[in-house]
Amino acid sequence: MPRGILTMIGLAGSVLFAASVGLFAVEQIAAGRTVPGLGYLLIAILMVAVPYYVTTPGDVAGSALERTIGWVVETDDD
């Protein structure tokens, strides 16, 4: 799945915020509060996975535009 530089920067930002939630989850689990700790861990995982894997309406529009331009403008590969 090819990603652009802006998408990678956005993913790094998501990981940055999810890391603090994940660390809090580990502290909760270590303190014996397993259920809230697992809940926070799930939230941290979703903070990274949802923006990376879910297709947004902007992604669909951009993909359609790329296909349309590729269909209208033909390039010679020779």
Assess if residue 58 is contained within a domain. yes
Domain count, the chain: 1
> Domain residues for 61?
5-72
Q: How far apart are CA 56 and CA 39, in angstroms?
A: 25
Between 7 and 17, residue with greater pLDDT: 17
Assess if residue 24 is contained within a domain. yes
- Which pLDDT value is given to residue 75? 64
Assess if residue 44 is contained within a domain. yes
Assess if residue 51 is contained within a domain. yes
Please tell me what DSSP assigns to residue 3: -
pLDDT tens digits along 50-67: 877 776 666 677 777 777
Assess if residue 77 is contained within a domain. no
Tell me: pLDDT of 36 over 70: yes
Which residue reads 């902007």 in tokens?
Answer: 58
Assess if residue 25 is contained within a domain. yes
Assess if residue 78 is contained within a domain. no
